[in-house]
Chains A and B, each alone.
Chain A
Amino acid sequence: MVIAKTVDGEIGIMPQHAPVLGVLVEGGVLRVKREGEGELVAAVHGGFISVADDEVSVLAEVAELGSEVDVAAARDALDRAQASIEANQEDADAAVEAQRARARLRAAGEEV
């Protein structure tokens, strides 16, 4: 089962799902639940999920596996982004940056 976050909300895809094409949100967490193996978690920033012919493809602009996330760096990025949001509420770049950092931390299994 694949769980992703589209702009409409979370979507879970089981085998034999009808073809779907969805736009993913910035800073979402993608989970792939596999039989017999552990869960595959990734931080996915923007892009698409497409389901067709019993195949799920995720096209992301940037993606990072949870196990590959540098937790300290992500925390650092989050702190910096939050600091600049506090300094300037209109800072859209920092908001995106904070979202990304949060997604990376969540993918790594950290509490945010």
Chain B
Amino acid sequence: MGAQLRLLRRRITSVRSTAKITRAQELIASSRIVKAQQRMQAALPYEREITRAVTGVVSNAASVDHPLTVAKDNPARAGVLVVTSDSGFCGGFNANVLREAEALRGLLEGRGLAVTPFVTGRKGVTWHSFRNRDMGGSWVGFSRKPAYADAKEIAAMLIESFKDENGIDEIHIVSTEFVSMLTQNVVVKRILPLEVEETEATESTTIPPYFEFEPTAGDVLESLLPRYVESRIFTALLQSAASEEAARRRAMKSATDNANELMRVLTQQMNQARQAEITQEISEIVGGANALADAAAGKE
């Protein structure tokens, strides 16, 4: 067997085993998307209710000022929470988030703000530490399956640095929004100072109910707002987890398709090489036989 033929065989074997791995990864990611979506769905009612409650309080008690809702006069420092994944093999997922975070950083610095990144996900943390960027905080290990406690921890730290006089004056979050299996968008949102965001378009005809408060509106707001921030962060983490798996599934699918295409091309090349070898061997045999026959004819 010729050297070229053996080389092609070896390459096909290696491509085939790669395809097997990527195919398995693709299937794993598909099943994980479903679970991540379920977790997203499960968190929806809580988010909806808490948004409704916050809207209720804010629309009822316009006089209530809370440190978390008031924009500071001369913002000097901004925090950016960047939500990335812990593991790779998910195509441009992290690159997209980080690119958007860089754009936001440029924008904020253009406004004269010093930017402190807060990062979740091992990929984002590595990216920042490789560039020697100081991080205000970093969290790893839960990008695939974020728990409420994780969101709580992040929110506690962000709120604390926001309340601090010399701390951060506004906080933005850069994460990936899960629209569908095929579409995930990187979104930038400001989470502090709070803007109350409607999850669904409420008809303008419905008047928000006039709430009574137990004990007072201020007390309710005091404990409600941190929960609201937590819920917003939790939603972002869940969406990011689902998006990560979707991005991974897509990346693995195109890797599998690529490997299959490569296998097809290599098989063709291998067949050609084998055929060429056979043809060459035949012509060598024929040539040899002819030479022998000629030599025998010359003797006679």
Are A and B genuine complex partners?
yes
Contact status A11-B214, CB under 8 Å: yes
Q: How distant is the Cα of A53 from the Cα of B227 in the complex, in angstroms? A: 23
Shortest Cβ distance from residue B209 to the other chain A in the assembled complex, whole angstroms: 4
Contact status B209-A52, CB under 8 Å: yes
Does B219 count as interface, using CB distance less than 8 angstroms? yes
Q: How many A-B residue pairs have CB under 8 A?
A: 62
Contact status A20-B212, CB under 8 Å: yes
Does B156 count as interface, using CB distance less than 8 angstroms? no
Chain B residues whose CB sits within 8 angstroms of the CB of A61 once the complex forms: 227
Q: How distant is the Cα of A20 from the Cα of B53 in the complex, in angstroms? A: 10
Shortest Cβ distance from residue A93 to the other chain B in the assembled complex, whole angstroms: 15
Task: Give B231's nearest chain A residue, CB to CB.
Answer: A59
Does B223 count as interface, using CB distance less than 8 angstroms? yes
User: Which residues from 51 to 78 on chain B have a C-beta closer than 8 Å to any C-beta of chain A?
Assistant: 52-53, 56-57
Does B46 count as interface, using CB distance less than 8 angstroms? yes
Contact status B56-A8, CB under 8 Å: no
Contact status A20-B56, CB under 8 Å: no
Please tell me the number of chain B residues within 8 Å of chain A, measured between CB atoms: 19
Q: A7-B219, A52-B209, A59-B227 are in contact. Are A21 and B49 (CB under 8 A)?
A: no
Q: How distant is the Cα of A52 from the Cα of B55 in the complex, in angstroms? A: 12
Does B224 count as interface, using CB distance less than 8 angstroms? yes
Task: Give B152's nearest chain A residue, CB to CB.
Answer: A61
Shortest Cβ distance from residue B224 to the other chain A in the assembled complex, whole angstroms: 7
Q: How distant is the Cα of A8 from the Cα of B213 in the complex, in angstroms? A: 10
Contact status B209-A7, CB under 8 Å: no
Chain B residues whose CB sits within 8 angstroms of the CB of A48 once the complex forms: 50, 53, 220, 223-224, 227
Q: A6-B214, A59-B46, A59-B49 are in contact. Are A21 and B57 (CB under 8 A)?
A: yes
Chain A residues whose CB sits within 8 angstroms of the CB of B211 once the complex forms: 19-21, 50, 52
Task: Give A11's nearest chain B residue, CB to CB.
Answer: B214
User: Which residues from 161 to 213 on chain B have a C-beta closer than 8 Å to any C-beta of chain A?
Assistant: 209-213
Q: How distant is the Cα of A59 from the Cα of B223 in the complex, in angstroms? A: 12
Does A40 count as interface, using CB distance less than 8 angstroms? no
Of A6, A19, A57, A59, the residue contacting B209 (CB under 8 A) is A19
Of B52, B215, B223, B227, the residue contacting A50 (CB under 8 A) is B52
Question: What does the 1/0 interface line of A41-65 toward B look like (CB < 8 Å)?
Answer: 0000001101011000101010000
Chain B residues whose CB sits within 8 angstroms of the CB of A11 once the complex forms: 214
Shortest Cβ distance from residue B46 to the other chain A in the assembled complex, whole angstroms: 6
Chain B residues whose CB sits within 8 angstroms of the CB of A23 once the complex forms: 214-215, 219-220, 223-224
A-B pairs, 6 with minimum CB distance: A22-B214, A19-B209, A52-B209, A6-B214, A19-B211, A21-B211
Query: A6-B214, A22-B214, A23-B215 known; 17 other A-B pairs, CB under 8 Å?
Result: A8-B214, A11-B214, A18-B212, A19-B209, A20-B212, A21-B57, A21-B211, A21-B212, A21-B220, A21-B224, A22-B213, A23-B220, A48-B220, A50-B53, A50-B211, A52-B52, A52-B56
